[in-house]
Structure 1
């Protein structure tokens, strides 16, 4: 009887742990499920080509061959009033899940590109090939990540997770900030 009781308690513990994992990671689980099951397009772009002068119309013209969904609101109010999403499977040849373009006062303010945890190294190599060694790196964690960054010639900036996420249901993010956004929120401290 004690072995059977121990097995039942162990099984109950596993079920509770699985439920807790699902509740804590439901959004990420759903995104990975969609990413792995849907036929999504790839995007190729240079971060230098993104412009703070772009409107939603310009974005849709640039990515005319993919579905662009635009909505009122943004995950972070400082990013803007509207966000346009593109579900993708690759960004510049590397695994990627989603692109989000944030508009403030009708102009592109920032963009983010989420990629699965396993694509951290290839995406970092691509960024270093395009932009050289990072200009800056965070030593301390902020919101669970440390970023590295590049200052682009047009005054904008690109940031990337310094390390691959420890959570296998997490993802890497590439962030582009417009020159306007970098002026209002200093992208690099001197």
Structure 2
């Protein structure tokens, strides 16, 4: 956008196109299941410190990455990036509200790749619009497809995607192979590897 709009033609100045480093910063993972832990491993590649909030401790995760389990409020206060990886249920709906956003640093970013209703969108809009937090990256919304007049879409400090952030040729191929392997396992009387509710499986 900057180049296409012709703004590159202006003289350089010290504050031009300034962004935020991630190297050596702190990421807060909310929901330390397989996805949350995978994100944390990638973050460690940038020497990021890893905090996490989870209903249960993850000792192997802590040992592998030096991750530290903290209370939710502490995670919001200490993190430079807050990344959401929780399922949507009665306990997580509206979890990220005005009170939690108010705890974040003004230089912090919220990333939501979980489910839209986990975040109070009105509270998020207010926090972003007023500069209480630096920005947000959203792959999910409270209502999908989100309406074109969603106020969040008017903000320059929000990056959005239509719930397809996992989309790549390699990912789609792996999804197809995984589905086929699960079917083969099921019809062979074995438990599929990716059951969400393995307690329901009967041979």
TM bracket (short chain): under 0.3
TM-score, scaled to structure 2 = 0.26
Higher relative contact order (CA 8 A, sep 6+): 1
TM-score, scaled to structure 1 = 0.27
More strand by share: 1
